[in-house]
Every structure is written in structure tokens, then in C-alpha cells.
Amino acid sequence: MSDRARPGSGRVRGGVLGALVGGFVLLWLFPIYWIVLTSFKTPLLINEKTPVFVFSPTMENYTHLFTEFNFARPLWNSLVVTSVSTVVVIILALLAAYALARMDVPGGRNIALWMLSLRFMPPIAIVIPFFIAWQRLGIIDTHLGLILVYVAFNLPFAVWMLRGFLVDVPRDLDEAAMLDGLGHVAILRRIIFPVIAPGVAVTAIFTFVFAFNEYLMALVLTSRNASTAPVTVAKFIQPYSILWGDVGAAATIQLVPILIVVFLLQRHIMRGISLGAVK
């Protein structure tokens, strides 16, 4: 008997597919659940050979994190550097992507590909030149130094993403706006931006996450004043032990800003992905 003759076969396949998807989701969420759970355990419970899931939670790790490691400062540094660099990247990327997608720029697609290729350059290959240049400019261990680096690294990716959204917008909108006397800046702000706002939101989230999680550049280009959260967390790995409780507390706290950004922009995310820029 064919599958068409079996009404229940579709439900079975749907159930199997749902179970597989659910399994993958649980597999992906478990490390997050475990690190959050660890942040509320005492060192004795953390080091138990048998995993402990039921216990009396403690805030000891969070207290230790902010008193012994002064985690508020690096967390603030991360938020400032990440937020400012994300805003700058989105503004510059919008202008560049608009020019490449809507104007008659010779080799516009090749330029976009070349810019994207810069994003894949290994950071270890250029961190020393950045350090030497920033040292001469006097911006080592400053917010400005990290912001400039994060803008340079994330701008090519953002241009590529936004160009993909802009290419899909009908040019008839531009022509109609020009007939009404609008210039390119006004067209981008009043006509194009509302159409691609979901794509801008998706690009902003990626840019924010890339900058917030960056480690190597922050490690080399900062020492104390502008040190970021990921650099501070690395200090919890000590010669003879790992402060897993502090690691869990720091990781849990670092999840909060990203979750807030995703929550605020969630209505744009699926719309942005459906536009086809994320491939």
C-alpha cells in the first residue's frame, strides 16, 4: 500500500521529525542550563562526581565575582564598547551597502565580496600591527581603541548582510521617490530603511554578539581600564584549579544583555531571515 493510502503515515513522519528537532534543541540548551545551574552551586556540589540537580541555590559565586574580581567594570566596558561599535557599524554599513546595491558602482558585487573576505582574516595575523599602531596613537587600553577594532572587523560582514537585503528591494521605489524630489539620503531614511528594518535588526544582533564575545583583541589591546568580560572570565582558569562557580556566574550574567537585545528585536528576526539575507 502506498504512503498516500496510509493517512497516519504523515503524522508519524511529523512526530519523528518533531522528536528529532526537540532532541537537537534540548542538546543545544543543556550546556546553557548546566552553566546557569553551576552558578548557583557551592564549590563542594560543583566538584561532586555525580551530577547534582536538586540543591539549595546560593548567591556565593555572584558575590565572589563582584567583590573579588570587580566584574562590574569589565562588564560595563563590554557593554559600552559593544553598543557603540554596533551603532557605528550599522550606520556606516547602511551607507556603504546602499551605495553598492542601489548606485551604479563599477564592480559593486566584487567590492562586497572583497570586503567580506576581510572578515575571515585571522585576528592573530593582525593583532600585533594593531597593537603597535594603537600604542603610537596612545589608545591602548581605551574604549576608543577597542571600538575602532570592532568596527573594522564587523563592518565588512554588516555591509555584505545589508547589501543582500537592499538588492531585494524593488528599484521602482527609488525612482518614484526621486520623481518626488528626494535625494539618496532621504530615500534611504524614509523609503528603504522601513522596508529593510528587519534585516537591519538581524545584522545588528550578529554584530552585537560578535563584538560582545570577542576575546583576542581585547586581551592584547587592553590591560586594566578597558578590559572586557571575556578577558576577565579567562582569569578564572588558574594554575591548579578552575573557579567553575565564578565561570558559571559570569557566563550567566553575560547571557543577559544578549537575551535582552534578542527579546527587543525578536519581532524583526524571523522577518529579517525570511528576506533571504541569511544564507
| Residue-range domain boundaries for the chain | 3-60, 62-274
Give the CA distances from residue 220 to residues 4, 175, 182, 212, 215, in Å, rounded to whole numbers and listed in that order: 63, 49, 46, 16, 9
Q: Poorest-confidence range of 106-115, 132-141, 207-216?
A: 106-115
- Cα separation, 90 vs 200, whole angstroms: 7
Q: What does CATH list as the number for 62-274?
A: 1.10.3720.10
**pLDDT of 3 above 70:** no
Q: Which of 86, 262, 104, 102 is nearest to 196 (CA)?
A: 102
Residue-wise pLDDT for 147-189, tens only, equals: 999 999 999 999 988 988 888 887 777 778 777 777 778 888 8
- Cα separation, 116 vs 111, whole angstroms: 9
C-alpha cell at 273: 531571515
Residue-wise pLDDT for 200-239, tens only, equals: 988 998 999 999 999 999 999 998 899 999 999 988 888 8
